[in-house]
């Protein structure tokens, strides 16, 4: 009798066996570093993977999920990540709401009739990755999902300019030159903690920095970079999905080697008092005016990021806007699903909300 069974597959380094647990990728990084851009490119070049996305927003309006769904298709071209595969966690920093928000969202994804091939978790710019990695040891998920890798996005232009420094000597020099700096700077610590936890460090906006600047960035992260971590340069988030989604780190198994500042000091909590956010509804006469007003608001040194959607006179669908530094990106939404309009402004504590509101509601 002929054996009609399919032959057993042959695995090699080029053709590894499928993971027994679903791989999850944690994408972290400082506000505006380029996390959403990287993820959008991953979804557009997923190579047939079915991807679920968990997005952690900071502020009282969540937008990244809607923007990612809009930019990666409406189902007609079998997108890697459909709208129902995007889960937004808008109740605060994901590392502070692990039990209340993140774990139930993860369990719901894993309990689906057809679970995803990969899970991508975009943390807010405020999140410590260490508590999130440890959450994968939770009994209901530890046998079904693994942390394939922690990917930290570094804004090369910002770090080259000294806006965020991981080098302790450089931090000391900045503190000596500016008496307004607090001795215990949470922003610097946050940056260092995200580098310490990374398996893959992506130097984003590499096209905006010369070789001297890139060398400065690499020197800044050197002290906190784990020996096992790889560093890659990226422009507009363009990296092969097989590299970003194929790290195979099993980060939950060595979380004890990825301690944050507060964990080293024996503390469990971290403060977010260095950041403020607010939301507003805005409308403009045309796309150019919207971009100009957002760019003017971004010129305020306390504003870190503006993102969301605005109404445009004469247009039935809203204009989506993302702004970081001098870069303002906008596009008209085309999907049929209703989108709540509004902008989220994220900045340093004490930002002049009234002045920024006036700039963004000039009409």
Residues 19-29: pLDDT tens digits? 579 999 999 88
Which two tokens mark 124?
A: 């807010």
For the beta carbon of residue 61, count every other beta carbon within 10 angstroms: 20
Q: In 3D, which of 190, 241, 202 has the Cα closest to residue 348?
A: 190
* Whether pLDDT at 173 is above 50: no
Residues 257-314: pLDDT tens digits? 887 776 676 654 444 445 677 888 888 999 999 999 999 988 887 787 788 888 899 8
For the beta carbon of residue 340, count every other beta carbon within 10 angstroms: 12
Indicate the pTM of the whole model: 0.63
What does the pLDDT read at residue 9?
Answer: 39
- Residues constituting the chain: 363
DSSP state of 16: P
Residue spans of beta strands (DSSP E) within the chain: 22-29, 51-56, 86-89, 118-122, 145-155, 200-204, 230-233, 275-280, 283-284, 303-312, 319-324, 327-332, 342-348
Which two tokens mark 332?
A: 């008209």
Average pLDDT over residues 342-359: 83
Residues 33-61: pLDDT tens digits? 788 889 888 888 888 888 988 887 554 44
Question: Crossing angle, helix 353-360 and helix 287-298, to 10 degrees?
Answer: 160
For the beta carbon of residue 10, count every other beta carbon within 10 angstroms: 7
Positive or negative CA dihedral for 192, 194, 197, 198? negative
Using pLDDT thresholds of 50, 70 and 90, give the confidence band for residue 185: very low
Residue spans of beta strands (DSSP E) within 299-355: 303-312, 319-324, 327-332, 342-348
Which two tokens mark 324?
A: 């970081």
Residue in the block written with tokens 């530890």: 142
Which two tokens mark 272?
A: 């977010």
Rounded Cα–Cα distance for residues 304 and 324 (Å): 7
């Amino acid at each position: 009798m002929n054996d009609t069974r399919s032959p057993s597959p042959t695995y090699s380094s080029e053709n590894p066996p499928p993971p027994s647990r679903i791989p999850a990728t944690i994408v972290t990084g400082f506000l505006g570093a380029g996390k959403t851009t990287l993820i959008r490119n991953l979804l557009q070049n997923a190579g047939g993977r079915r991807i679920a996305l968990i997005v952690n927003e900071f502020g009282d309006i969540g937008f990244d999920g809607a923007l990612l769904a809009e930019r990666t298709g409406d189902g007609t071209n079998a997108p890697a990540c459909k709208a129902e595969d995007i889960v937004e966690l808008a109740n605060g920093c994901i590392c502070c709401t692990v039990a209340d928000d993140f774990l139930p969202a993860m369990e719901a994804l894993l309990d689906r009739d057809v679970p995803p091939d990969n899970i991508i978790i975009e943390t807010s710019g405020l999140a410590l990755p260490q508590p999130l990695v440890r959450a994968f040891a939770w009994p209901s998920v530890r046998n079904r999902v693994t942390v394939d890798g922690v990917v930290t996005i570094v804004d090369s232009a910002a770090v080259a300019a000294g806006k965020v420094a991981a080098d302790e000597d450089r931090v000391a020099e900045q503190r000596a030159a500016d008496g307004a700096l607090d001795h215990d700077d949470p922003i610097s610590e946050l940056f260092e903690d995200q580098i310490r936890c990374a398996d893959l460090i992506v130097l984003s906006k590499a096209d905006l920095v010369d070789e001297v600047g890139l060398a400065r960035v690499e020197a800044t992260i050197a002290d906190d970079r784990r020996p096992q971590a790889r560093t890659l340069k990226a422009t507009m988030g363009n990296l092969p999905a097989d590299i970003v989604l194929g790290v195979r780190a099993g980060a939950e198994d060595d979380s004890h080697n990825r301690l944050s500042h507060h964990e080293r000091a024996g503390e469990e909590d971290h403060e977010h008092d260095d950041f403020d956010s607010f939301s507003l509804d805005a409308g403009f006469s045309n796309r150019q005016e919207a971009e100009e007003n957002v760019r003017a608001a971004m010129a305020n040194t306390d504003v870190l990021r503006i993102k969301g959607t605005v109404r445009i006179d004469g247009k039935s669908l809203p204009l989506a806007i993302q702004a970081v530094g001098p870069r303002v990106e906008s596009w008209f939404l085309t999907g049929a699903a209703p989108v709540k309009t509004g902008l989220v402004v994220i900045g340093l504590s004490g930002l002049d909300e009234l002045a920024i509101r006036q700039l963004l509601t000039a009409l």
